[in-house]
Amino acid sequence: MFVPIMLFLVGLGTVIFHFASPWWFTPIASNWGFIDTTIIITFWVTGVVFVGVVLFTAYCTYRYRYRKGKKAEYEPENAKLEWWLTILTTIGVAVMLAPGLLAWDEFVSVPKGAAEFEVVGKQWDWAYRFPGKDGKLGTSDARNINDDNPFGLNPKDKNGRDDILINDSELHLPIDKPVKVLLRSIDVLHNFTVPQFRAKMDMVPGAVTYFWFTPTKTGEFDILCFELCGVGHYAMRGTVVVDSVSDFQAWLNEQPTFAQTLAEAENDSEKSSNRVFGEADSPDRGIAR
């Protein structure tokens, strides 16, 4: 009797833990409520199957336990049972897959008029790029990456000269405005995730992935990397701040453009060169020699 009782307690405990568990979804802050619905449907299907299998196993271990003088009946096939299992399994799989396919179709079908920005992942930081006044992002190439051009933008592309660069882990977005998120990695696999937005997507070196969402609540939310990307993976975090439209625009206006970043880098390089040549030609250094 020990085995069926323990199996029964496992099934009962699973149901109790599901409803009494303190760990549940974070409060949603985007338009992706359908993602929660899809996950809940999966929970119900897999949960019912799990509890059913456990209780059925408990019943079988009790009903067909060893009893002296009883002989087991050998029945290698049961066509009726196999058909029922096939039909029920097919229905269960379809119920789980259909909502996910519908959610995925919406996830990558960007609405017209959605603004866009780029997320750049690197070990172990986040950086962001917004289009400038022309509304277009310039082209990029990993071969262009250097200390003065960490985003790898093409200096000859006019569309990229006014791109706004945020080389910082804090991102700002306007509330109630749909945005298309372009995702790019410059080293290894990463995954951009904001749990409250129910939005996540892999970032693959050499490719640009994307999704879209609409922030629906103001506040600060954690940005996480959900792909093991090296020893600093645990520290690859950031913050997204959802602002009013006016506050977001004020923040965006304070950020440097690609052209300004290049100009600043050139000025720093000239100052450094002048300082080196000045020290080499100074009388004091000549006397010391």
Angle, in degrees to the nearest 10, between helices 33-63 and 79-107: 160
Q: What is the DSSP string of 238-258?
A: EEEEEE-HHHHHHHHHTSPBH
CA separation (Å) from 170 to 69, 81, 202, 211, 223?
74, 57, 20, 19, 9
Q: DSSP letter at 275? A: H
Of residues 67 and 47, more confidently modeled: 47
Looking at the structure, do residues 100 and 163 belong to the same domain, yes or no?
Answer: no
In whole angstroms, what is the distance from residue 211 CA to residue 108 CA? 5
Quote the domain boundaries for residue 87: 2-65+77-107
Segment 207-250, tens digit of pLDDT: 999 999 999 999 999 999 999 999 999 999 999 999 999 999 99
- 86 and 121 inside one domain: no
224 with 260, same domain: the answer is yes
Whether 56 has a pLDDT exceeding 80, the answer reads: yes
| 78-136 pLDDT per residue, tens | 888 899 989 999 998 898 889 888 888 888 899 988 999 999 999 999 999 999 888 88
Same domain (yes/no): 195, 125: yes
Residues 48 and 139 in one domain: no
Q: Please tell me the total count of domains within the chain.
A: 2
| Per-residue model confidence as pLDDT tens digits over 150-181 | 888 888 888 888 899 998 889 999 999 999 99
Question: How much is the pLDDT for 158?
Answer: 87
pTM here is: 0.77
Please tell me whether residue 110 adopts helix, strand or coil conformation: coil
Same domain, 136 and 36: no
Are 147 and 81 part of one and the same domain? no
Q: Is the pLDDT of residue 50 over 70?
A: yes
In-domain check, residue 180:
yes
